[in-house]
Amino acid sequence: MIKIYLFLIIMGVIGGVGYGGYMYYKDTQERIAILTDNNAKLEVAAQLQEETINTMIEDVQRNAELNKELQRELQIAEGYGDQLRATLQKHNLTHLANKKPGLIERKMQNATNRLWDDLADITNPNGVQPDTTGKGSDGNKGSENGNTDSSKTEASPTK
Amino acid sequence: MKTEIPIVARPKQVQLNDIKIYVVSKLNYAEFIKSYEKKNGADSYIALSVKDYENLSLNFAELRRYVEQQKQIIVYYEKAIAPEKKEEKDGKVQ
C-alpha cells in the first residue's frame, strides 16, 4: 500500500515538474514570439524614422541650394539699376545733350528700344532667363561708344 | 507628406509700344521744330528735362528690377514645390 502511495506521490511530482516545464516552455515561446514581433515593429519604425530623417536632410539641402540660387538671381537683378546709377553719376548728360544732341538722341532711342525688348523677354512665359538676368550687360551695351556718356544715359533710360 | 500645388501658367508677355525720343539743344532746335512739325503735323510736344529723364530711367530700372526679382521668386517657389524624382537602385523612378 505504501508503495502505491509512494508511486502516486512520485508520479504527482514528476507530473508537476513536467507540467511546470511545459508551461515554462509555452510561456517562453509566447514571450519570444511577442519580442520577435516587437523587434520587427521597432525595426520598421527605426527604418521609417531613418528615411524621414534622410528626407528632411535632403529637403534642407535642397532648400538651401534653391535659396542660394535665388539670392544670386536677386543680386543679379540689382545689377542693372546699380550700373545705371553709376553711369548717370559718371557722365554729364546735360552737357552731352547740348554738344551732341543727334548722337545722344540716337543712343537714347536705341537704349529705349532695348529696354522694351528686355522687358518683353523678362515677361515672356516661355522665355529663357539668362539674358534677362544679365542686365548689367545691357547697360554696358548702351554705354559702349565713345559717347559712353550718352550711351549709358540712354541705356539707363532704355533699360 | 507634401501638399501638391499645381503650377499655373504665367501671364502673357508684355506688348510695349515704341516711342520716339528727341534730344534738342540750341544746336538743333530750329531743325527740330521744322522736322517735328513736318512729321507730326503740330508743334506741340511734351518736354522732359535731362534730370527728369534720368529720373525716369531710374524709375524704369527700378521697375525692371522688381519684375525680374518677382519672377525669380516665382521660379524659386516652382522649384521648391516641384515633386522630387528619386532613382532607386533598380533604376525605377519613384
**Beta pairing partners, A32:** none
Residue numbers of the domain that contains A39: 2-158
A140 within 8 A of B82, measured Cβ to Cβ: no
B14 vs B68: CA distance, rounded Å: 13
Averaged pLDDT of chain A: 81
Most confident of A140-144, B2-6, B15-19: B15-19
pLDDT in tens, B34-57: 999 998 887 788 999 999 999 999
Q: Nearest residue of A to residue B49 by CA position?
A: A94
Residue pLDDT, tens place only, A44-91 = 999 999 999 999 999 999 999 999 999 999 999 999 899 889 988 888
For chains A and B, CB pairs below 8 A equal 128
Q: How confident is the model at residue A130 (pLDDT cuts 50, 70, 90)?
A: very low
Nearest-Cα residue of chain B relative to residue A80: B61
User: Considering only CA atoms, which of B30, B24, B16, B17 is closest in space to residue B47?
Assistant: B24
pLDDT at A80: 87
CB contact under 8 A, A101 and B21: no
List, in sequence order, the alpha helices (H) in chain B.
Answer: 29-40, 50-81
Q: Residue A64 and residue A66: Cα distance in Å, rounded? A: 5
Per-residue confidence (pLDDT) for residue A136, from 0 to 100: 37
pLDDT band of B91, cuts 50, 70, 90? low
Q: How many whole angstroms separate alpha carbon A30 and alpha carbon A24?
A: 10
Predicted confidence at residue A129, as pLDDT, reads 44
Given a cut of 90, whether residue A31 has pLDDT beyond it is yes
Flag whether the pTM goes above 0.90: no
Contact: A108, B21; criterion CB under 8 Å: yes
List the single residue in B9, B25, B84 with the smallest CB-CB distance to A125: B9
Q: Considering its fold, how many domains does chain A have in total?
A: 1
Residue with cell 506688348: B15
Residues above pLDDT 90, as percent of chain B = 56
Q: Confirm or reject contact between B70 and chain A (CB < 8 A).
A: no
**Phi, psi for A129 (deg, rounded to 5):** -95, -10
Query: What does the radius of gyration of chain B's CA atoms come to, in whole angstroms?
Result: 26
Q: Is the complex ipTM more than 0.90? A: no
Q: Is the pLDDT of residue A144 over 70?
A: no
Is the pLDDT assigned to residue A28 strictly greater than 90? yes
Taking residues A9-19, what's their average pLDDT? 94
Task: Catalogue the E-assigned strands of chain B.
Answer: none
Query: If pLDDT is split at 50, 70 and 90, which confidence band does A142 have?
Result: very low
CA separation for the pair A139, A130 (Å, rounded)? 15
Pick from A81, A98, A125: CB nearest B10: A125
Window 49-68 of A, Cβ < 8 Å to B: 58, 62-63, 66-67
pLDDT at B86: 58
